């Protein structure tokens, strides 16, 4: 899961959006560093990442990647799942337009930015202004996203080539998304994540 899915599932689970979004920027035990609601959001994010990575559909999706890109498949898939969520948002949340959902999320997150990790502050400088999560709906935009991630982390250079695996297996990946994401939504709403 990437930014949009974490925010969406956190909303369904009545969890801290700030904690869920900043989790990748926090090391160690969040309960020692953050207020209880934000710490719980960070913990939920981590549980959700572990759960998603172990789902049969996600394991099958990883096998669609070529040998030279399989190592970065989990990172690529995180972005891919956000693509399908953004692309099908109106079907998933018919009563809540994506721009309105994102505006509400931003309004909850921005007031605590000054106390958040520096990397998370930098991310927020781009995330909302450049409308990343809305733009994820465009499959070709993901190519730019993966290139940017590879440029920032040279050990993940294969991300550049992994876009082709996404593109070549688009229909199968979309099917996997529909097989597992509604189940995650139900679990989030039932407080079972």
Please report the pLDDT score of residue 167 as a whole number.
96
Q: Which of 6-10, 29-33, 119-123, 126-130 has the highest mean pLDDT?
A: 6-10
| pLDDT of 1 strictly over 90 | no
When pLDDT is cut at 50, 70 and 90, the band that residue 38 belongs to is very high
Mean pLDDT of the chain: 95
| High-pLDDT (> 70) share of the chain, % | 100
CA nearest 24: which of 36, 11, 8, 42?
A: 42
Domain ranges across the chain? 3-189
| pLDDT of 107 strictly over 80 | yes
Please report the pLDDT score of residue 178 as a whole number.
98
Region 132-159 average pLDDT: 93
**CA pair distance 189, 193, nearest whole angstrom:** 9
Please report the pLDDT score of residue 154 as a whole number.
86
Cβ count near 110 (within 10 Å):
12
| CA geometry: angle 63, 147, 131, nearest 5 deg | 105
> What digits encode the pLDDT tens for the residues 160-190?
999 999 999 999 999 999 999 999 999 999 9
Please report the pLDDT score of residue 132 as a whole number.
94
> What digits encode the pLDDT tens for the residues 70-105?
999 999 999 999 999 999 999 999 999 999 999 999
DSSP state of 28: S
pTM of the model: 0.94
Question: If you write DSSP's letter for every residue of 129-158 in order, what string do you get?
Answer: TTTHHHHTTSHHHHHHHHHHHHHH-GGGTT
């Amino acid at each position: 899961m990437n930014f949009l899915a974490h925010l969406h599932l956190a909303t369904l689970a009545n969890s801290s959006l700030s904690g869920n979004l900043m989790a990748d920027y926090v090391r160690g035990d969040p309960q020692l560093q953050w207020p209880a609601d934000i710490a719980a959001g960070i913990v939920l994010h981590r549980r959700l990442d572990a759960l998603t990575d172990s789902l049969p559909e996600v394991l099958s999706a990883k096998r669609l990647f070529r040998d030279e890109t399989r190592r970065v498949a989990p990172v690529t898939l995180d972005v891919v799942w956000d693509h399908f969520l953004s692309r099908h948002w109106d079907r998933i949340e018919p009563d809540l337009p994506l721009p309105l959902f994102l505006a509400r999320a931003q309004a909850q997150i921005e007031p605590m930015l000054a106390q958040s990790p520096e990397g998370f502050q930098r991310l927020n400088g781009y995330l909302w202004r450049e409308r990343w999560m809305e733009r994820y709906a465009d499959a070709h935009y993901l190519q730019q996203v993966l290139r940017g991630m590879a440029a920032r982390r040279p050990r993940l250079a294969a991300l550049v080539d992994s876009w082709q695996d996404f593109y070549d297996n688009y229909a199968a990946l979309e099917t996997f998304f529909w097989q597992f994401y509604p189940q995650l939504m139900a679990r989030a709403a039932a407080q079972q994540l």
